[in-house]
Structure 1
Amino acid sequence: MKKPQVVTSRNSPDGLLCVDVFRREDGSFGFEEFRRDPEDASGWYGVGGYSGLRYASAHDADKDATARVSWYGNE
């Protein structure tokens, strides 16, 4: 199974968080919130637990991300 394709990616104002909206191989969409710590070289890691949610469109995934992730849509 291929990795989901990121459709949009938006960072928080401080650059420590981001939300990726992605498209799965089956055509469904989803999103996840990620965090990175500047002092840790391991990179981004998922923190939201939203990646299993499924949506019919990228717009629907983005809309729900705005409702669920406190900083998203407010940046």
Structure 2
Amino acid sequence: MNKAVILSIEDDTGMHCVDIAQHDDGMFTFKTFRKDPEDEGKWTLVTDYSKTRYASEHDAREAVYEELPWVREQLQKR
């Protein structure tokens, strides 16, 4: 099953990121990542929330906001 990242948000430090993805079946999921200096700037998966699937992007965003309040704050800055 293919997916496309439709939204990728970094925190103010540039060390944490969340990706919301849309799958071929129209469902949405998200994952969180971190970037550590010892990893040479590569993103490392922190939490994989993709076992829970959402019927809409809105529902996925609401779940992200619940788990990661900083994401809403970052989006409001845009």
- Category of TM-score, reference length = shorter chain: 0.7 to 0.9
User: Within 2, Cα distance between the matches of 1:54 and 1:31?
Assistant: 8
**Could you tell me which amino acid in structure 2 is paired with residue 52 of structure 1?**
K
CA distance in 2 between counterparts of 1:20 and 1:8 reads: 6
**CA offset at residue 43 of structure 1?**
1.2
| Aligned structure 1 segments of 4 or more residues deviating by more than 4 angstroms | none
Name the Cα RMSD after superposition: 1.6
The offset of 1:42, in angstroms, is 6.6
Deviates more, 1:4-13 or 1:47-56: 47-56
Secondary structure at the aligned position of 1:71 is classed as: helix
Gaps of 5+ in 1: none
TM-score, with length taken from structure 1: 0.84
Relative to structure 1, is the Cα distance of residues 15 and 23 closer, same or farther in structure 2, using a 3 angstrom cutoff?
Answer: same
Aligned sequence identity (%): 39
State the number of aligned residues.
74
C-alpha distance in 2 between matches for 1:41 and 1:25: 32
The code of the aligned residue for 1:68 comes to: E
CA contact (8 A) 1:7 1:58 kept: no
TM-score (norm 2): 0.81
Give the partner amino acid of 1:61. A
Partner Cα distance (2:73, 2:14) in 1: 14
